[in-house]
Structure 1
Amino acid sequence: METVTVTAQFREQELQEVPNSVVAFTAQDIEDAGIRSTEDFIALTPNLTFDDSFTYLNSFVVVRGVTQINNADSPVAIIVDGVPQNSQKQFKMPLFDVQQIEVLKGPQGSLYGRNAIGGAINIVTKQPTNEFEGFVAGGLSNGSGYRMDAGISGPVVKDQLLFRVSGSYYETGGLIKNTYLGRTVDDVDHDYSIRGKLAYTPNEVFSLDLRASYNDAQAGAAYDAVVNSTLNPDFRSGNNSNDVFEPRSSLAGVTKADITDLSGKATLDMGFATATYILGYTDLNEDYRSDLDFSNPTQPTFGPFGELGQGQNLSLQLMSQELRFVSPDTRAFRWIAGAYYLQTDRSLLTRGFLDLNGSLDQFENGVIIIDRGEDNDNTAWALFGQAEFDLSERATLQVGARYDEDQRNQNMPGAAGSGRSTTFDAFQPKVTLSYDITPDVLGYATYSTGFRSGGFNAPGVVLDSFGDEMLTNYELGLKSTFANGDGTFNIAAFASESDGFQFFFVDASTVSQIISNLDKVDMRGFDADVQYRLSDQITVTGGVGYTDSEIKSIGNAQLESYLTASGVDISKVIGSHSPKTTEWSFNLGAQYIKQVRSNLSAVFRVDYEYQGEKFWQIDNVDVRDPVNLVSLRASLEGERWSASIWGKNLLDEEYYADFNPSEYAGAPFDLGSQARPATYGVDLKYKF
């Protein structure tokens, strides 16, 4: 099997030598599995789930029971070509021209800092080359969808200045139908990206990499369906929210978004250490307009209030800098030291309006019933370090620590005296002891911590702020290679304790997205993955994850009072699973390669994913039944070309990608966002 090298700990290491729970996808894995989006590789990673709902850039990732929150910090640090992607809206992205994806589970605070409370995902795009090369790819899918990717790379000055330019385009008519409007609502009018890279290496000790990218998209938004209300008087979700209702709202939502990313990385070999400076800048804008009551004139849900609409304008600018020093890999004592700085400016306008004519323009010129603006900025900085000691030929001790400080400021535009400010900080230590039990078996024990900053909710909402979250994790792991290198088996058991667990809910009556804290949540479980090359033709991969989370205490009188008034039985919260948690996840894949003739191969791949019961909210009253997803891919591959047919969710499993019970939606109904049904298509690719 191919030896995989990762850079997850800021230095090159073989995957099986990293004392951490890491899953890696190489360029060949990405090609074979047809990975085109964030959701695709998460489906192949145990104890990691992805929920896609509301706006086009929106997503909720859950790792080992720790949940992503809308319009706030992610529980997973996302790194693209060394640059942190500090907005939750940057996680869902088209994956094209990608070299490798590395997924680290468990707190990574000592190296990655704030928001690596659940783990880190390191995405490396393909680098410029010293020889001219390129590719053109395209595909068709049901729902009148098509995709195009292309790229070219080569030298400007041989061996010194290299370039790479690549891009992607995607559109689809959609597959989820609104039964009232008689049209699909998950359509993508366009989603295009372009990325350019320059690599300058004038000598053996210095290099400079420059990167620029732009993404523009327009797509559907907020196609939730009303569940458990006067529209469906005989249905009660109870312990089964799998009876999927199609959307029937009178407004078809839309998202318009664009993201500009600029970054530079300079590297200098100083002998005693390699110095790396990374500068990143992001300008992100996302506007959405949609229904608010998710009904229509023939089936109202808010009674005398009539039809309602909603929308938000989000503008976000981020500028980050990092300077780190990494000692040579070959010494018995190895170290990393660095500093980090982040400046974030975020403005958000939220409006609710009376829907009098079915037009989304009413956000600007209609009857506005809720009008709330907020400006948020935060300044964060950190100092971090890590040291590794080879205690013997077999034993290594790794000690790391990081101090993060995050100052948050908020004000309402035009409202004198509305400004408020607070500061959160945390010290995040990590200790790992690893031991080579045999040349093919590595064991490790880890104590690690993670920190997610607190902040402010929108001004004037019922819970106007939320505290920080601190996670303490204890982990035992085993990484092994067997069958003379043809197989790997890795397993890690963890026990985590969260203080100030952050969770998210909606108050539709005030068009508010609210974050709050639970005092204590415990999480226990394990994840394991296996890869075995049975022969030159057949490879089997698989993974299993288990997370048993338990809410130990709420510890927030204001939150308890609000939830009680909303109809939540507080007695059911204690002892329940954390929100959006899936206890069991399982994936199994098999790939068969048949040499048809010289320079022509047939590749067949099947993947099965099992997602166990999903607990939508903190009282666990609404639970999604297990989901079984099957994907197939068959390809013919020549030396320079490939042709594939593929299918995803081929059992056409009907389920909700997101579900918000009425008690946590601030409205007299539950909301369910339907997952995409079976999708299938063909892909073509030519390399030159």
Structure 2
Amino acid sequence: MKTLPLSLAIASAISASMLANVAIAEQATKTVALDVVTVSADFRDTDVQELPEAVTVIGADNIALRSAEHLESVLSFAPNVNFSSGSSRGRYFQIRGIGERSQFVDPVNPSVGLMIDGIDMTGLGGAATLFDVQQVEVLRGPQGTRFGANALAGMINIQTKAATKETEGYVAGKFGNYNTHGQSAAISGSISDNVQGRIAVNSFQSEGYMENEYLDKSNTNNLDEVVARGKIQWQPDSDSEFRLTYLLVDIDNGYDAFTLDSSRNSLADEVGRDSQDTDAFAISYDRELSDALILEIDASASWNQTEYSYDEDWVSDSYPPKWGTVFDAYIRDEQRDSIEIRLLSGANGKIFSSTTDWVAGIYWMERDQDLERNRTGKSQYRNALAVQSFSTYVEFDTSISDTSSISYGVRAEQWKNDFSASDGVEGDTSEILFGGKVTLEQLITHNHLSYLSLARGYKPGGVNSDSDVSEDNRTFDTETNNTVELGFKSSLNNDDLKTRLAVFYIQRENQQIKSSYFDPASSSFQDYLANAAKGENYGLELESTWQLLDALKWDLSLGYLHSEFKEYEYEKNVYDASWTLIGSETVDKSGRSQAHAPEYSLATGVHFSPSEFLTLSIESEAKDEFYFSDSHDEKSRAYVIWHAQAAFKDGPFEVSLYGRNLTNKETDVRGFGGFSNDARSTQPDDEGRYAQLGEPRLVGIEGRYNF
């Protein structure tokens, strides 16, 4: 099975190579070239081909190609990037095998950060909708200098479309199977000579892909999402600019995704909810103080309320009772505030004999979160978390010669959190964390760049909230990620063929691992975080885009990943047939792969434009099997799926027919195991495999009028 994706990649490469001779022969008359793609997540906007680190940029064209509404539908464009669901959307992300997969009671410090227009949405992945988005930037590897905590594995940065000076806009609609429909509109332009604005609104609904046979409904796992955004840009003079963004997210999705037989036919008698209400602001101010000094200030604030609820036994109360009807609801209220102030060297601001550009800054963040848990038959549980962070950082970029340079930066962060719960559990931590990066860059020729980097990232420790957790496991330590990366970026044939290659090795120290155990007294699973001694991840990432002809483009994304636990053991309770605790046993996971870390991932596509009005595209993506969790050995299934689109454009009118997962292949986006949720099971050692299925075959039509 593992040879199939490789065969697809080889076949794609051979097909492209067979067309290469034609492409070369057509060079003299060729007029279409690949666009320059700029990454904005770093301290300075940089061409992705010139940035010495592994970055994937998913542009608006890629988003339109799949008629994607949410980030989960386009992440396969980035090698060695995965997601987990366990909700109505894939809202937990993993990069190079590192990242969270769920959240219930305990506070979580994510390994993968999420920014939307400068607003920190880390841990709130349901908000990662793709309406009116300019591009998605996926930075792979620890971002110890730029972002610090919450970017142990990398950062996902979503940039939506900016306000424009010229008046423009669009209205759009889409219809598809599963009663899918969406409407959107945007308008942008100048309000005055030095003020521009943009307003965009989107509404999307779908019945979802589950049939609840007990309730006789087909919309218990529905999608109902509204996103609105407003932007203002103001240039008070030629040397400065203010930017203001307002984001509204109103998500009211159903959640009814798990069944005892891992099918799309639910028997739940109570319907869950996966909702998010967000009001957020971001303000930025840039000023060129002189030709040697630039000031940048970014501030943001957000207010978020989420509800995550579900029928815990997945069946009705008429089913043979195991622990009776249990409905579980987690309601969180959260406020986040942050401000960052940076000074950067300008055109004439280099130091050390005019060899070195530099940036220095400070960052402050505060996050307050309140959880209310309401579970059938239990007293209401509450907890509160207050997090404060203050960082300072500096980075230098020194030219060694005309063709080589070295960049080096460090970040120091004071991290504090204070936790309290209604069951009496309390805890607080305070620590100083350090991250950074050193990169040696060599320009081999004008169009060929190589680099070698050493980066250190970190994820703060914290407190386990379960009152039954032993005091030895009450707290867990900070995890660090030390990554060595060797990369090569090239452009050939007048920039028609662009390639990016990265090889990496990761050493994880005090790896934070989520573990679970079943508590018969409460008839529920208790989660806690612990530290494994070490973890090891290494692999390769290849991305290539080739404009073979004016009418033909081919792209490829290929990832290989090896992940392994080092010296990881934990104690597991052992029960007799009457669920009486009779002892414990040691479980040794040393040498096993880490969760949600598939060995290979692949995405490739061919795009053909037989005329200026029509573009035909076909894509394939593949992914290896992977473990659902670190605490059991159930796996997802490997898969290969296909997508296609036919897009017609004539002046301001655009119409496209799209299909995702054309062969209706079943894929797994979240799973559980190591226990039985079936009421007919009587033995403690009965174990099941329960998987949430990903998208089935989706087909539809989109229309858009631009003005």
SS, match of residue 650 in structure 1: coil
**Residue of structure 1 in register with 2:625 after alignment:** 613
Return the match for 2:316 from 296, 299, 302: 296
Match of 1:220 among 245, 250, 254: 254
Structure 2 residue matching 1:70: 3-state secondary structure: coil
Asked whether 1:79 is paired with 2:93, we answer: no
Aligned-residue CA RMSD (Å): 2.4
Matched, 1:452 2:456: no
1:372-391 to structure 2, matched below 5 A, reads 372-391=381-400
In structure 2, the residue matched to 1:356 is none
Task: Measure how far apart 1:675 and its partner are.
Answer: 1.7
- CA contact 2:222–2:254 (8 Å) conserved in 1: yes
The answer on 1:273 being equivalent to 2:322 is no
Q: 1:186 to 1:19 in 2, by over 3 A?
A: farther
1:231 matched residue in structure 2: none
| Separation of aligned partners in 1, 2:256 and 2:589 | 28
Displacement after TM superposition at 1:23 (Å): 1.1
| Post-superposition offset of 1:137 | 0.7
- Please say if residues 111 and 385 of structure 1, whose CA atoms lie closer than 8 Å, have aligned partners that are also in contact: no
Q: Distance in 1 between matches of 2:674 and 2:212?
A: 21
User: Alignment partner of 1:2: what SS?
Assistant: coil
Aligned AA for 1:257? Q
Question: 8 Å contact 1:426–1:451 — kept in the other structure?
Answer: yes
Number of residue pairs the alignment of both structures matches? 645
| Secondary structure of the structure 1 residue equivalent to 2:146 | helix
Q: Are the counterparts in 2 of residues 458 and 512 from structure 1 also a CA contact under 8 Å?
A: no
Partner of 1:472: 482
**Residues 528 and 23 (structure 1), Cα distance of their counterparts in 2 relative to 1, 3 Å cut:** same
TM-score of the superposition, structure 2-length normalised? 0.87
Classify the secondary structure of the residue corresponding to 2:402.
coil
Aligned equivalents of 1:32, 1:57: Cα separation in 2:
20
* Counterpart residue number, 2:23: none
Q: Aligned-pair distance for 1:295?
A: 2.2
Could you tell me how far 1:246 is from its partner in structure 2?
3.8
- The one-letter code matched in structure 1 to 2:140 is K
Shift of 1:370: 4.7
1:309-328 equivalent positions in 2, closer than 5 A: 309-328=327-346
Give, as a single letter, the amino acid of the residue that structure 1 aligns with 2:276.
A
Partner of 2:197: 163
Question: Which residue, out of 331, 348, 352, partners 2:375?
Answer: 352
Asked if structure 1 preserves the Cα contact closer than 8 Å seen for 2:69 and 2:131, the reply is yes
**Structure 1 match to 2:208:** 174
Percentage of matched positions with identical amino acids: 22
Contact 1:486-1:533 within 8 A present in 2 as well: yes
In structure 2, how many angstroms separate the alpha carbons of the residues matched to 1:185 and 1:657?
19
The answer on whether the counterparts of 2:571 and 2:587 sit within 8 Å (CA) in structure 1 is: no
Letter aligned with residue 74 of structure 1 = P
Corresponding residue for residue 575 of structure 1 = 591
Where does residue 254 of structure 1 map in the other structure?
Answer: 273
Look up the equivalent residue of 1:394 and give its one-letter code: T
Specify the SS of the correspondent of 1:30. helix
Amino acid at match of 1:269: E
Question: Following superposition of structure 1 onto structure 2, how do residues 470-619 of structure 1 map, counting pairs within 5 Å?
Answer: 470-505=480-515, 509-510=523-524, 512-554=526-568, 559-561=570-572, 570-595=586-611, 601-618=613-630
The code of the aligned residue for 1:342 comes to M
- Provide the C-alpha distance between the structure 1 equivalents of 2:643 and 2:546, rounded to a whole number of angstroms: 20
Q: Is the 8 A contact 1:352 1:511 kept in 2?
A: no
Task: Give the aligned residue type for 1:660.
Answer: F
Q: Report what 2:176 is aligned to.
A: 141
Question: Using the alignment, how far apart are the partners of 1:293 and 1:329 within structure 2?
Answer: 63
Taking the aligned partners of 1:648 and 1:464, their CA distance within structure 2 comes to 45
Distance in 1, Cα, partners of 2:583 & 2:451: 46
CA 563–197 in structure 1, closer or farther in 2 if over 3 Å, else same: farther
Q: 1:189 to 1:3 in 2, by over 3 A?
A: closer
The residue identity in structure 2 corresponding to 1:401 is: V
- The one-letter amino acid of 1:224's match is F
- Give structure 1 stretches of 5+ with no counterpart: 228-242, 354-367
Amino acid at match of 2:336: L
Classify 1:394/1:546 alpha carbon distance in 2 versus 1 (closer, same or farther; 3 Å): same
Matched with 1:443 is 450
Instruction: Describe the shift of the 1:32–1:656 C-alpha distance in structure 2 as closer, same or farther (beyond 3 A).
Output: closer
Counterpart secondary structure, 1:534: strand
Q: Secondary structure at the match of 2:613?
A: strand
3-state SS in 1 of match to 2:313 = coil
Of residues 420, 423, 432 in structure 1, which corresponds to 2:427?
Answer: 420
Describe the superposition over 1:298-331 as per-residue Cα deviations: whole angstroms up to 9, x where unpaired: 43362xx322111111111100111111212675
Deviation sequence 1:560-594 (CA, Å, 0-9, x none): 35599899975551100111211110111111112
Task: Determine which of 344, 358, 365 is the counterpart of 1:335.
Answer: 358
Superimposed CA distance per residue, residues 514-561 of structure 1 (whole angstroms, 9 cap, x where no aligned partner): 333322110011111111011000100011111111100226xxx535
Structure 1 664/552 Cα, relative in aligned 2: closer, same or farther at 3 Å?
Answer: farther
How far, CA to CA, are the matches of 2:587 and 2:85 in structure 1? 30
Per-residue Cα deviation, 1:465-502 (whole angstroms, up to 9, x for no partner): 43221100011111111122110111111110111222
Say if 1:381 and 1:406, in contact at 8 Å, map to a contact too: yes
Question: Per-residue deviation at 1:42?
Answer: 0.5
Of the candidates 82, 103, 123, which is equivalent to residue 49 of structure 1? 82
Per the TM alignment, residue 82 of structure 1 is displaced from its structure 2 partner at its CA by 2.9
The change in CA–CA distance for 1:647 and 1:567 in structure 2 (over 3 A counts) is farther
Distance 1:215 1:618 in 2: 33
306 and 186 in structure 1: CA distance in 2 versus 1, 3 angstrom threshold: closer
Conservation of the 8 A alpha-carbon contact between 2:118 and 2:300: no
1:408 aligned partner = 417
Structure 1: how far apart are the matches of 2:640 and 2:544? 20
Q: 1:99 aligns with which of 134, 137, 144?
A: 134
Matched with 1:648 is: 660
Residues 576 and 619 of structure 1 are in contact (CA less than 8 Å); yes or no, is this contact kept in structure 2? Answer: no
CA distance in 1, matches of 2:383, 2:135: 38
The letter of the residue matching 1:18 is L
**Equivalence for 2:380:** 371
- Mark the CA change 1:678 to 1:29 in structure 2 (over 3 Å): closer, same or farther: closer
| Cα deviation, residue 503, structure 1 | 3.1
Is the Cα–Cα contact under 8 Å of residues 396 and 435 in structure 1 kept in the other structure? yes
**Does the 8 A contact of 1:324 with 1:336 survive in 2?**
yes
Deviation at 1:406, TM superposition (A): 1.2
Q: Go from structure 1 to structure 2 and tell me whether the alpha carbon gap of 1:506 and 1:678 turns closer, same or farther (over 3 Å shift).
A: farther
Preserved CA contact (<8 Å) 2:421 2:465 = no
Shift, 1:178, TM fit: 2.6
Measured after TM superposition, the shift of residue 247 of structure 1 is 3.0
- Per the TM alignment, residue 152 of structure 1 is displaced from its structure 2 partner at its CA by 0.7
The 3-state SS of whatever aligns with 1:504 is strand
Q: Secondary structure at the match of 2:188?
A: strand
Partner AA of 1:560 in structure 2: E
Gap change, CA 1:611 and 1:498, over 3 Å in 2: same
Q: Evaluate the alpha carbon distance shift between residue 26 and residue 401 of structure 1 in structure 2; reply closer, same or farther with a 3 A threshold.
A: same
Q: Secondary structure at the match of 1:31?
A: helix
Cα distance 1:46–1:92, how it changes in 2: closer, same or farther (>3 A)?
farther
Deviation at 1:505, TM superposition (A): 4.8
SS at structure 2 position matched to 1:201: strand
Match of residue 2, structure 1, among 23, 35, 47: 35
What stretches of structure 2 of length at least 5 have no aligned partner?
A: 1-33, 576-580, 678-683
